[in-house]
Amino acid sequence: MAASAADVRDILSLPGPSNVASTTLKKSSSSMAKKPEGISRELYSLIGNSAPTLTAQFAKPRLKQRPDLGKGKVKWEQQEFSNSARADGLKLKHWVKVGPDNNKEYPFAKYNTTTTTYTYSLDEYTRLLEDPEWTKEETDYLFSIVKEYGMRFYIISDRYDYPGGPPRTIDDLKARYYSICRKLLRTRPWAGDEATRQQLSNSYAFDKGGHHTVFALLILTMPLKEREIMRKDYIDHLLKRTPEQIAEEEALYIELKRLEQTERRFAKEREELLKTLAGIDSGLATISIEDDAANTFFGGLDKIKRSKKRGDTMEIDSPISSAQFSLAPAHSLRKTTTAKQVAQDLQLCIYRFETPAAAPNKAAHVPVHLRSTKPSIPKQNLAPKIYGALEELNINHQTLIMPTRNNLQQQQMLFDATAALIETKRVVDRVDQEIRVLKARLSGRKSEDITDAGGEETQEDAAVESQTQAAEESQAGPEGDAEAEGELDAEGEGEGEAEGDGDGDGEVEPEVEAENEDADGDAEMEDADAEGENEGGDEVDGEVEGEDDGEGDLDDEELEQELEQRGDDEDEDEEAEGEVEEDEGTIDNASEAPESQVGRRRKRGFSTSSVDTSGTMNTRASVKRQRNG
């Protein structure tokens, strides 16, 4: 900083510039006006009399203004105070600002809070709270200690020392304390409304499961104390795992994921292959990639380990396949899994949440839309047939007057039921056809060979059974339809009423469930039927293969083709049947029984998902082995 003249004067302790300043100022103010010729204004303002340094020089040196803090001095004083949170009159001293409000309450006394604890009278105790394991005295002691330590049960159980009493665990103490609280709450008159009472009562429920939702529902039926003990047991076990066990678990988990991946890839490849070979959708039931057991076992693990990808396992749990066929099996599969799961889940304490039918994942994400703009549409290949059938039943499928969620659901169910009906019809037709063929064959063979008649008969029986099943089913089908229709009508009638919708829902729901079950039942039957049918097909194949066998070796390509044939649509099946009819003459009866087994096995390799990636390959190998053996 450059020192001004004032500073210099200060340092040299020269007299102040007061008189000099006035004269110079006058002079400068007079000379300010005129500017010599030939000098620019800017230059003159720098070198001339009005140079800023000069004016600064004459200004009175000023110190920086002291900030005005208002009040002035603050006085502190050491004062005695008494704490209202104390029972005695202890006077401690602290420093406080002197002010008008010096006799106010000690500011920290308000933090002296106590938890409200229940007390009970002797009458209440004898009436309600008797417990063979607890004496009145010990209960009193428990309540006093709970009050003393403010419901901190870890500390209560640590300090709990009732002379002569049995050893109590923290769970014993909690169970006793909370059960008493609940009983008292329930029996005493309650001023507030029932909901808050219930809420309060719930808050006294021993282990609300708040932080362990895994347990929330499934084990709800268990006594609370036992549940808590079990939970602790699990935590204990979890803690006691050795590093090896953890490593093994980790390895198994990775292995499982790897297998799943391979399985998925394999399924995809096969699908591709079938598509390229057959040129159309294979129509095979979509294979649930994950094994049920593994799914159950690792479902919980998944949830814990990868909470981000929550939807993952759930999706696989309930595959929503595009194929008409697989819709029903998917349901049945899910049902069986849950049935199996319940036991296992109970055992492993896994609670799984019901996923909505359309699990929200990125691929299946549905943007916001008006429901009326997206009416449910039956599957494309079946649509004309379904519409035809509905026309026949005089149901208008084109307009849905009130596209509420429920109605849409109903409509969807109607379509599904109709599709099932059509499917059943088709199956019935085919079985009829088969029966005819077999009967023809039987009559033909009876004349040829009497010894083999037994085997044929059993097959025929199976076929007849399947036919009866189909017949039953076809009876069930229309019923379901009728129901669906009726419901739809009911909904339509309810439209006019303001509250009608809600009411209608309430009524409809059980019906819907029933129908669902129906549909499932249908599906199962259908499934069984399909199996039966396929077995029939296998048999047919077996015959064909038998023929091949007679000729020589069987190669994989042929097998593949056979598989395709089986996987293909009904029309081709019929073709195959036609072929059989043609080949009838060259049946190798001896190889028939084992071959049908083989066929069945191959079928299994196809429809169930085995963890073994080379499932079908193995089956093929076994086919060969059996054939050679």
Q: Are 605 and 615 in contact (CB under 8 A)?
A: yes
Residue span binding other proteins (CB under 8 A) among the ranges 146-154, 281-289, 337-345, 365-373: 146-154
Work out whether 98 is an interface residue with other proteins (CB under 8 A): no
Work out whether 85 is an interface residue with other proteins (CB under 8 A): yes
**Which of 129, 170, 348, 464 touches other proteins by CB under 8 A?**
170
**Which of 26, 27, 93, 258 touches other proteins by CB under 8 A?**
93
CB of 107 to other proteins, least distance (A): 5
SS3 401: coil
Work out whether 144 is an interface residue with other proteins (CB under 8 A): no
End-to-end CA distance of the chain: 110
**Which of 88, 101, 499, 557 touches other proteins by CB under 8 A?**
88
Residues 229-248 close enough to bind other proteins by CB under 8 A: 232, 235-236, 239, 241-243, 246
CA distances from residue 624 to 42, 153, 545, 550 in whole angstroms, order as listed: 110, 69, 11, 14
CB of 261 to other proteins, least distance (A): 25
Torsion of CA 609, 612, 615, 618, to 10 degrees: -160
Q: Which amino acid is at 588?
A: D
Q: Judging by beta carbons within 10 Å of its beta carbon (0-12, 13-18, 19+), is residue 136 exposed, middle or buried?
A: middle
Residue 76 main-chain phi, psi, to 5 deg:
-110, 150
Work out whether 90 is an interface residue with other proteins (CB under 8 A): yes
Beta-sheet pairing, 91-97 with 76-82: antiparallel
Measured at the CA of 573, the angle between CA 569 and CA 575, to 5 degrees, comes to 120
Residue span binding other proteins (CB under 8 A) among the ranges 88-96, 449-457, 485-493, 557-565: 88-96
Work out whether 251 is an interface residue with other proteins (CB under 8 A): no
Work out whether 149 is an interface residue with other proteins (CB under 8 A): yes
| Binding residues for other proteins, total number by CB under 8 A | 33
Residue span binding other proteins (CB under 8 A) among the ranges 81-89, 442-450, 532-540, 548-556: 81-89
CA distances from residue 132 to 128, 138, 152, 161 in whole angstroms, order as listed: 12, 12, 25, 19
Please state, in angstroms and rounded to a whole number, the distance separating the CA atoms of residues 328 and 574.
23
Q: For the window 102-131, what string marks contact with other proteins as x by the rule CB under 8 A? A: ----xxxx-xx-------------------
**Which of 28, 49, 50, 83 touches other proteins by CB under 8 A?**
83
Nearer of residues 168 and 566 to other proteins, judged by Cβ: 168
Work out whether 74 is an interface residue with other proteins (CB under 8 A): no
Residue 82 β-bridge partners? 91
Please state, in angstroms and rounded to a whole number, the distance separating the CA atoms of residues 121 and 131.
15
Please state, in angstroms and rounded to a whole number, the distance separating the CA atoms of residues 580 and 540.
7
Work out whether 166 is an interface residue with other proteins (CB under 8 A): no
Nearer of residues 241 and 446 to other proteins, judged by Cβ: 241
Residue span binding other proteins (CB under 8 A) among the ranges 24-32, 41-49, 118-126, 145-153: 145-153
Residue span binding other proteins (CB under 8 A) among the ranges 121-129, 152-160, 562-570, 600-608: 152-160
Work out whether 27 is an interface residue with other proteins (CB under 8 A): no
Q: Are 623 and 601 in contact (CB under 8 A)?
A: yes
Work out whether 95 is an interface residue with other proteins (CB under 8 A): yes
Helices within 4-125 (DSSP H only): 5-11, 18-31, 41-47, 52-58, 122-124
CA distances from residue 420 to 318, 431, 477, 541 in whole angstroms, order as listed: 20, 16, 7, 27
Nearer of residues 238 and 366 to other proteins, judged by Cβ: 238
**Which of 127, 159, 186, 374 touches other proteins by CB under 8 A?**
159
> What is the contact surface with other proteins in residues (CB under 8 A)?
83, 85-86, 88-90, 92-95, 106-109, 111-112, 148-149, 152, 154-155, 157-159, 170, 232, 235-236, 239, 241-243, 246
